[in-house]
Amino acid sequence: MKPSRVPFVTLIVVLVFFYLPIGFLVMNSFNTSRYASKWGGFSTRWYDRLFERTDILAALGNSVKIATAASTLSMILGTAAAFALHRYKSRLQVAHRLLVTVPLVLPDILMGMSLLLLFVSVGMSLSLVTITVAHVTFCLSYVALVVQARLQDFDFNVVEAAHDLGATKMQAFIKVTLPLLAPGILAGGLLAFTLSIDDYVITYFVKGPGSDTLPTLVYSMIKKSKDLPVINALSSLMLIVTFAVVAVSQRLTRPVA
Amino acid sequence: MRLPTKPELTTTLPSLLWLVLFVLVPLVTIFAIAFRPALPQGGIGEGWSLDAIKALGDPSYPALFLRTILISATTTLICIAASLPVAYAMARLSPQWRSRVLLLVIVPFWTNFVIRVFAWQQILHAQGYLAELLRSLHIVGENDRLLGNAGAVILVSVYTYLPFAILPLFAAAEKFDFGLLDAARDLGAKSLRAFFSVFIPGIRQGVITALLVVFIPMLGSYVVPDMVGGPRTQMIGNKIAQRNFTDRNLPEAAALSGALVLLVLAPMFLRRKEKLATAK
């Protein structure tokens, strides 16, 4: 009896479903008509308009600053966390693991709301700093997850060998462990960077007035129905960046043959 | 009890302290603020008050909670139903194609979430091609709108959460021994029967993970109902945002968030019980 073809057809339908809206967006960014619903001819005027908008550039700057700080800090904290969770099996690690898991499962709105309430109750004013703190908190868990997966295949005998050859603990860590784990840590950092750049909900709750990131600015433009075609142009450019980042991270995480 | 060693502490404490400070303390704060009075100008008052808790008795809330659970459950079921055959098909591909298709599934989920929802807002627009096509086929009436209803919220939610369901199911299907399906067929089971009574039980853990990773974040949904839904599709997340940003009533927003925390914890608690049961 022949296996059914239904699963493969479903797979193709799902892939088309995934890419159709993205294709629609890119197509519309070249649509000269102001109204996304009708094709009015090819033009790049929305791209020109995009580069005139200084507020978009400023928001992009904020996003990049926050993502850089958040991914760097979460790379350090997350890698340390992954080491501890991998190495030790104490009751402390049970609590540690639970806390690392919470940001992965907690709905964004609860994370944003709870951090907002914390900042308000301790009287911390909302700014780029509060956004960064929030981003580090959820990025940390993702980095820990990625690095932990790497540690599963890590051969600790290599570190033992370095010790036997006379390396101190610090030397062995810097010269052996870190370089071998670097691809995993960087992949975690890259994931953290994209998650930070992408985040809307948590940022919206903990941002102060005037500290817009790209997603919060785009959201308010959509809500006010202002310059919608410019958002299409912006989205298309962001897609290109995303594809580039995916390509780079594929290189990093590819198993070394 | 043995005390942790120094290297354990140096690797554990940085992340542990950070998470205690910015995850555990904030979650406890939600419940504390729910018992504070609200200031009329939008701050948190001194002393304690049950006003915010009493406000949870709002007559519109049972419908709000029910709607949130129904929209979340429907989205989850559609995601699982679509992901099962997809995971099956992916696991049967050659290793080379498998990683290519896996990448194709992941990439859209790396693009900006707000922008993906915005794309759907344009597609479902009343003057869009889709609305026109459906009108000309008389599938929708002249005055029906594609946006602003539960259908739009579910469709766009499925779009955003489908990769989350596919990944754990695929991970489980990859480890599944497809020889079992051949055996089932040799013993006379039809394809569909084999799929439901051999394949699905075989990837049971993947199904449970997929259920949770879609259902739990859906309960806290906010952007999708805000952008493609309407007043009749409001979910708990929208109410929290409204209490917080429009009404400037932080204690009421906190009380509602506390209720959502409990709602989210319920399925996780069930999962734990389930794990204990299978461990025996």
Chain B residues with CB-CB distance to A28 below 8 A: 122
Instruction: Measure Cα distances from B22 to A132, A135, A209, B250 in Å.
Output: 12, 10, 22, 18
Q: Is residue A249 pLDDT above 50, yes or no?
A: yes
**Interchain proximity B85–A93, CB inside 8 Å:** no
Give A4→chain B minimum CA distance, Å. Answer: 7
Please count the other Cβ atoms lying within 10 Å of the Cβ belonging to residue A152. Answer: 7
Spatial distance between the Cα atoms of A112 and B26, rounded to a whole number of angstroms? 10
Q: Is residue B24 pLDDT above 80, yes or no?
A: yes
Judge residue A234's burial from the number of C-beta atoms within 10 Å of its C-beta, 0-12 exposed, 13-18 middle, 19 or more buried.
Answer: buried
**Interchain proximity A107–B219, CB inside 8 Å:** yes
Per-residue DSSP letter, B3:
P
**Tokens encoding A246:** 């995916």
Angle of the A214-223 helix axis to the A178-198 helix axis, nearest 10: 20
The ipTM (two decimal places) reads 0.88
Closest in B16, B101, B114 to A219, CB measured: B114
Q: Tell me if residue B178 falls in helix, strand or coil.
A: coil
**Tokens encoding B215:** 């259902």
Chain A residues with CB-CB distance to B24 below 8 A: 99, 102
A51 contact B CB<8A: no
B110 inside domain = yes
A59 contact B CB<8A: no
A224 contact B CB<8A: no
pLDDT of residue A257: 41
Spatial distance between the Cα atoms of B216 and B227, rounded to a whole number of angstroms? 20
Region B51-74 average pLDDT: 92
Spatial distance between the Cα atoms of B115 and B248, rounded to a whole number of angstroms? 28
**Tokens encoding A224:** 């006010």
Q: Is residue A153 pLDDT above 50, yes or no?
A: yes
pTM here is 0.88
- Among chain B residues, the shortest Cα distance to A246 is held by B107
pLDDT of residue B210: 93
Chain A residues with CB-CB distance to B173 below 8 A: none
Tell me what percent of the residues of chain B surpass a pLDDT of 70.
96
Q: Which of A46, A73, A113 to mutate to test the interface with B (most CBs of B within 10 A)?
A: A113
Cα of first residue to Cα of last residue in chain A, in angstroms, is 39
Residue (of B92, B100, B83) closest to B206 by Cα position: B83
CATH of the domain at B105: 1.10.3720.10
Instruction: Measure Cα distances from A202 to A102, A109, A237, B70, B233 in Å.
Output: 15, 6, 24, 24, 22
Spatial distance between the Cα atoms of B126 and B280, rounded to a whole number of angstroms? 56
Tens of pLDDT, residue by residue over B142-197, are 777 888 889 999 999 999 999 999 999 999 998 888 888 888 888 888 878 888 88
Spatial distance between the Cα atoms of A104 and B264, rounded to a whole number of angstroms? 13
Q: Tell me if residue A32 falls in helix, strand or coil.
A: coil
pLDDT of residue A217: 93
A3 contact B CB<8A: yes
Of residues B192 and B274, more confidence is placed in: B192
pLDDT of residue A158: 85
pLDDT of residue A254: 63
pLDDT of residue B194: 84
Give A88→chain B minimum CA distance, Å. Answer: 7
Structural domain boundaries of chain A?
Answer: 56-213
Q: Is residue B52 pLDDT above 90, yes or no?
A: no
Q: Are A202 and A47 a contacting pair, CB within 8 Å?
A: no
Spatial distance between the Cα atoms of A104 and A112, rounded to a whole number of angstroms? 13
Token pair 């981003």 in the structure block, residue: A135
Region B247-257 average pLDDT: 93
pLDDT of residue A219: 93
Q: Are B102 and B89 a contacting pair, CB within 8 Å?
A: no
Please count the other Cβ atoms lying within 10 Å of the Cβ belonging to residue B137. Answer: 8
Of residues B254 and B231, more confidence is placed in: B254
Task: Please provide the average confidence, as pLDDT, over all residues in chain A.
Answer: 88
A112-121, A166-175, A189-198, B160-169: segment of lowest average pLDDT: A166-175
Region A166-184 average pLDDT: 85
B45 inside domain = no
Per-residue DSSP letter, B109:
H
Spatial distance between the Cα atoms of A17 and B78, rounded to a whole number of angstroms? 14
B142 inside domain = yes
Closest in A17, A107, A243 to B216, CB measured: A107
pLDDT of residue B169: 94
* Fold assignment, A56-213: MetI-like fold (1.10.3720)
B-proximal residues of A, 197-216, CB under 8 Å: 197-198, 200-201, 205, 214-215
B201 inside domain = yes
Region A169-196 average pLDDT: 87
Q: Are A127 and A211 a contacting pair, CB within 8 Å?
A: yes
Q: What is the number of domains present in chain B?
A: 1
B65 inside domain = yes
State which residues form the domain around B103.
Answer: 60-279
Q: Are A29 and A238 a contacting pair, CB within 8 Å?
A: no
pLDDT of residue A1: 44
3-state secondary structure string across A134-181: HHHHHHHHHHHHHHHHHHHCCCCHHHHHHHHCCCCHHHHHHHHHHHHH
Q: Give, for B64, the enclosing helix (H) or strand (E).
A: helix B61-91
B26 inside domain = no
Q: Are B268 and B252 a contacting pair, CB within 8 Å?
A: no
Distance between alpha carbon B265 and the CA centroid of its chain, in Å? Answer: 13
Region A143-172 average pLDDT: 87
